[in-house]
Amino acid sequence: MLLDGARIARTIREEVAPRVAAFDTAHGRPPTLHIVLVGDDPASQIYVRNKERAGAEAGLTVAVHRLASSVTVEDVLATVKSLNDDPACDGILVQAPLPKGIGKHGTELVFDAIDPRKDVDGFHPHNVGLLVQGRAVLKPCTPSGVVELLDRTGHAIAGKHAVVIGRSEIVGKPMALLLLQRDATVTICHSKTPDLVATCARADILVAAIGRPGFVTREFVKAGAVVIDVGINRVDSREQAVQLFGANHPRLAGFDQRGSMIVGDVHPAVAEVAGAMTPVPGGVGPLTIAMLLKNTIEAAVDR
């Protein structure tokens, strides 16, 4: 069973639209999302364009603040501060990753500076604390999208053994917390986990958030398990594409046209053992954007 994230994302966007219209009527303006995009990372440009388009379709105002890759942390902090102070700004998203020059510490300073009530990515330590305690309003978009996907496709979480591969702040950790809150028994695996395959093979729900094309192969997956593929990886080598999909797969035509393709962390052959699985593209990605729109209206209404 293919878990159609794109379809569910459309439904969520349709649910958001009347709330956006009601806010507009009540406040005389639509809810407004401000995106800060620093530098010219090509993937970030695409992500921001997609967020802009989806926001506009849902009736939000989306403003993008483009800063050069040479800016200092202070410049980014000044932009965030002006948005914090702007009463007509409901949501702030600083697109990650920030340029290398900003550094890990600088990135933390920037995320920490966002007003938690406008933090539509849910990355501020205040919101992360609320998430740990199970009372967050603004939850990170990708993992909350995964929970929506499971709920709306009728896959129970309570009582299941969920294994999350990856422990990043944006996906792995919050994913594990959300599954725990929904009464799953959760195991978090990462690059130092010794018996990764055996641990994953015990999962009823397996979430892969690693960033390695086709890393999760058949032996990782118990027959009938629900497999959620968070990975978004660009493959530029035709040899690698053939290794993943086989020489006659229809997706190779797309590769030949564009010279690259987007693949997940889960090997396509996993579809033969999994009970249900998300595609890449068209799985978790569109849900992430839908949850961002949902967070923006939550932030606008909650403030």
- Least separation in angstroms between residue 83's CB and ligand NAD is 22
- Least separation in angstroms between residue 143's CB and ligand NAD is 9
- Least separation in angstroms between residue 56's CB and ligand NAD is 19
Q: How many Cα atoms sit within 13 Å of 219 on the Cβ side? A: 5
- Least separation in angstroms between residue 220's CB and ligand NAD is 10
Contact 272, 219 (CB under 8 A): no
Mention every residue, 6+ apart, whose C-beta is less than 8 A from residue 182.
147, 157, 158
Which CB sits closer to ligand NAD, 181 or 199? 199
Tokens of 228: 């959620």
Which CB sits closer to ligand NAD, 220 or 255? 220
Binding site for ligand NAD (CB under 6 A): 142, 165-168, 170-172, 189-191, 193, 196, 209-211, 230-233, 284-285, 288
Q: How many Cα atoms sit within 13 Å of 259 on the Cβ side? A: 0
> Catalytic site residue 51?
yes
Helices (H), the chain: 5-27, 42-57, 73-85, 103-113, 125-132, 141-152, 172-181, 196-200, 238-245, 251-258, 284-302
Which CB sits closer to ligand NAD, 78 or 96? 96
- In the chain, how long is the greatest CA-to-CA distance? 57
- Least separation in angstroms between residue 303's CB and ligand NAD is 25
Nearest position to ligand NAD, beta carbon: 168
Which CB sits closer to ligand NAD, 58 or 200? 200
> Catalytic site residue 133?
no
Tell me the C-alpha distance between 183 and 161, whole Å.
9
> Catalytic site residue 119?
no
Which CB sits closer to ligand NAD, 45 or 193? 193
- Least separation in angstroms between residue 173's CB and ligand NAD is 8
Q: Which of 115, 119, 121, 229 is catalytic?
A: 121
Residue length of the chain: 303
Tell me the C-alpha distance between 229 and 287, whole Å.
12
Q: Of all residues in the chain, what percent are helix, strand and coil, respectively (each to 5)?
A: 50, 15, 35
- Give the strand pairing for 233-235 and 261-263: antiparallel
Which CB sits closer to ligand NAD, 31 or 285? 285
Q: Which of 95, 115, 181, 229 is catalytic?
A: 95
- Angle, helices 284-302 vs 42-57, to 10°: value is 60
The residues that are catalytic are: 51, 95, 121
